[in-house]
C-alpha cells in the first residue's frame, strides 16, 4: 500500500488539493511521460555533479568530498523528516533494500567518480562515460525490478552504449584507462542504487526513500567526515565550498526526490533512459564552468546519445 504523504504533512504546510493535480496539462500526460519529466529534473540536477566535484576537490580531499557530501545531505534529510513528522528510520522489512541504496549511491558512486576525476579524467570525458548508466540501470531493472521493455527499447539502449563505448576507446588509445575503470565502478554502483530506490519509490514517496537512505548511512558518514576533516589537508575557499554544497545538497539529496519519483511513475528502465541526456548537459557545464575544450568526436558522441533518448521515449515498457 502506498504511503499517504498528506497524512504526515503538518497542518501549517499548504497542500495542493488533489483535484488541482487531477486536471490540467500534467494530468493529461501518461504515467510514462510524467515519469520521464520527473526523472529529467533529477538528471538536470545530477549533470552538475562532476563540475561541482572538481570545484570541491580544489579545497578538500577527494575522500572527504565523497563521504562528506552524504553527511551534509543527511542533515538536510533529517530536517525534512522532522518537519514532515515522518518516521526517521524506514521499516525494518525494507532495511536490506536501503543498505543496497547506501552502498550504491551514498558510497559507491561518489567515491568511484571522485577518485576517477582525481586520477585525471576530465569532466567531459567522465560525463560521456557515465552515459552508459541508463543501459546498466535498464539491465538492473530487468533483473531486479521485473520490467520487460519492448525490443525497440533495447535497440536504442544498445546503440547508446555502443556510441559511448566507441568514444571512450577512441579517447584512450584503444584501451580503457584506470580512470575509466573507476568510472565503470561508479556507473554500476549507481545503476544498482537507482534500481533499488525506484522499486521502493513504488511503495513510498521518493523524498522518503533518499531521506531514509541518508539517515541509515549517517552513523558511518558523519563520524568518517569528522575524522577526514581533522586528518586531511583542507584549503576551503568560496569556490570549493560552493562545489561541496552542491554535491551535498543537490546531487546527493534534492535531485533524488524527482529522480526516484520518476523511476517509480514511468518505470525504472524507461524513465531511467532520460539520463542518456546527461553527457550533453555535463559537456555544457564543463565548457561554461571549467573552460574545458573538446573536439568533434565528443560532440558527435553526445548527439548520438540524444538520438537514443528520443528512441527510448517512444518505446513503451
Can you give the length of the chain in residues? 317
pLDDT digits (tens, 9 = 90+) for 96-113: 999 999 999 999 999 999
pLDDT at 25: 63
Q: Is 60 exposed, middle or buried (0-12, 13-18, 19+ CB in 10 A)?
A: buried
Answer whether residue 249 is part of any domain. yes
pLDDT at 175: 65
Answer whether residue 230 is part of any domain. yes
Lowest mean pLDDT among 39-53, 198-212, 225-239, 294-308: 294-308
* Rounded Cα–Cα distance for residues 152 and 162 (Å): 15
Answer whether residue 11 is part of any domain. no
Residue 254 confidence class, pLDDT cut points 50, 70, 90: very high
Residues 6 or more apart whose Cβ sits within 8 Å of residue 261:
35, 38, 201, 205, 206, 207
Answer whether residue 188 is part of any domain. yes
* Rounded Cα–Cα distance for residues 196 and 276 (Å): 19
pLDDT digits (tens, 9 = 90+) for 77-91: 999 999 999 999 999
Answer whether residue 229 is part of any domain. yes
User: Does pLDDT of 130 surpass 60?
Assistant: yes
**Residue 72 cell numbers, joined:** 551534509
* Rounded Cα–Cα distance for residues 180 and 154 (Å): 24
Q: Which residue has the higher pLDDT, 32 or 261?
A: 261
Answer whether residue 19 is part of any domain. no
Nearest CA-CA partner of 116 in 181, 58, 170, 166: 181
Residue 9 confidence class, pLDDT cut points 50, 70, 90: very low
Which residue range is the domain that position 144 belongs to? Answer: 31-314
- Residue 95 Cα distances to 184, 196, 223, angstroms: 26, 12, 21
The rounded mean pLDDT for the chain is: 83
Answer whether residue 86 is part of any domain. yes
For cell 498528506, the residue is 6
* Rounded Cα–Cα distance for residues 267 and 147 (Å): 8
Give the count of domains, the chain. 1
Answer whether residue 22 is part of any domain. no
Sequential DSSP letters for the chain: ----GGGGS-TTS----HHHHTSSHHHHS-HHHHHHHHHHHHHHHHTTHHHHHHHHHTTS-HHHHHHHHHHHHHHHHHHHHHHTT--SS--GGGHHHHHHHIIIIIIIHHHHHHHHHHTT--HHHHHHHGGGHHHHHHHHIIIII-----HHHHHHHHHHHHHHHHHHHHHTTTS--HHHHHHHHHHHHHHHHHHHHHHHTTTS-HHHHHHHHHHHHHHHHHHHHHHHHHHS-----HHHHHHHHIIIIIIIIITHHHHHHHHHHH-HHHHHGGGGGHHHHHHHHHHHHH-----HHHHHHHHHHHHHHHHHHHS--
* Rounded Cα–Cα distance for residues 100 and 121 (Å): 27
Neighbour count for residue 277 (Cβ, 10 Å): 21
Give the global pTM. 0.81
Q: Which residue has the higher pLDDT, 252 or 35?
A: 252
Amino acid at each position: 500500500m502506498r504511503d499517504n504523504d498528506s497524512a504526515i504533512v503538518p497542518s501549517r504546510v499548504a497542500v495542493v488539493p488533489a483535484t488541482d493535480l487531477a486536471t490540467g496539462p500534467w494530468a493529461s500526460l501518461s504515467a510514462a511521460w510524467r515519469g520521464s519529466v520527473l526523472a529529467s529534473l533529477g538528471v538536470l540536477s545530477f549533470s552538475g555533479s562532476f563540475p561541482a566535484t572538481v570545484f570541491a576537490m580544489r579545497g578538500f580531499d577527494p575522500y572527504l568530498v565523497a563521504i562528506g557530501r552524504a553527511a551534509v545531505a543527511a542533515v538536510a534529510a533529517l530536517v525534512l523528516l522532522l518537519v514532515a513528522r515522518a518516521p526517521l528510520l524506514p521499516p525494518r522489512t525494507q532495511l536490506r533494500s536501503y543498505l543496497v541504496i547506501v552502498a550504491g549511491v551514498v558510497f559507491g558512486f561518489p567515491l568511484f567518480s571522485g577518485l576517477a576525476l582525481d586520477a585525471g579524467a576530465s569532466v567531459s570525458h567522465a560525463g560521456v562515460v557515465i552515459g552508459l548508466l541508463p543501459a546498466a540501470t535498464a539491465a538492473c531493472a530487468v533483473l531486479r525490478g521485473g520490467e520487460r521493455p519492448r525490443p525497440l527499447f533495447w535497440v536504442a539502449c544498445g546503440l547508446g552504449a555502443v556510441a559511448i563505448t566507441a568514444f571512450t576507446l577512441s579517447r584512450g588509445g584503444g584501451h580503457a584507462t584506470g580512470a575509466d575503470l573507476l568510472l565503470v565502478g561508479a556507473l554500476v554502483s549507481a545503476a544498482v542504487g537507482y534500481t533499488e530506490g525506484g522499486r521502493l519509490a513504488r511503495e513510498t514517496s521518493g523524498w522518503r526513500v533518499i531521506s531514509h537512505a541518508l539517515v541509515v548511512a549517517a552513523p558511518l558518514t558523519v563520524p568518517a567526515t569528522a575524522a577526514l576533516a581533522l586528518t586531511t589537508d583542507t584549503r576551503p575557499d568560496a569556490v570549493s565550498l560552493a562545489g561541496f554544497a552542491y554535491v551535498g545538497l543537490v546531487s546527493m539529496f534534492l535531485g533524488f526526490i524527482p529522480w526516484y519519483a520518476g523511476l517509480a511513475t514511468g518505470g525504472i528502465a524507461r524513465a531511467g533512459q532520460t539520463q542518456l541526456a546527461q553527457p550533453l548537459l555535463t559537456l555544457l557545464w564543463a565548457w561554461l564552468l571549467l573552460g574545458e575544450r573538446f573536439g568533434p568526436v565528443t560532440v558527435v558522441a553526445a548527439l548520438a546519445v540524444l538520438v537514443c533518448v528520443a528512441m527510448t521515449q517512444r518505446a513503451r515498457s
